[in-house]
Amino acid sequence: MTPEEDLKTLNDALAKAPPKPGYKTTEFYVSLAAMAVGAFLASGALPDSHPAVKIAGVVAMLLSAMGYQVQRTKAKG
């Protein structure tokens, strides 16, 4: 079998494999970390932080959640 045929066979097998559950994916944990940082910034845990820091925290959480949903939608086709 040629390398091209091997690659096609592998791609076909991967296309038929069901997607992993969301909590078993890297993007889940990256998004979770980003949301945790965003929540920390938005919570006001930093003393005398500028209101822009809180707004940036909320924006980071929202963008992280939206990014995760887009990636899972792509993964599930």
> In whole angstroms, how far apart are CA 27 and each of 2, 35, 48, 58?
34, 12, 33, 19
| pLDDT at residue 38 in the model | 80
Name residue 57's amino acid. G
| pLDDT at residue 50 in the model | 79
Higher-pLDDT residue of 1, 39? 39
For the chain, the domains span 20-76
| pLDDT at residue 48 in the model | 67
| pLDDT at residue 32 in the model | 83
Instruction: Count H helices and E strands in the chain, helices first.
Output: 3, 0
| pLDDT at residue 77 in the model | 64
**pLDDT tens track for 20-61:** 787 887 778 888 888 888 888 778 777 766 788 888 888 888
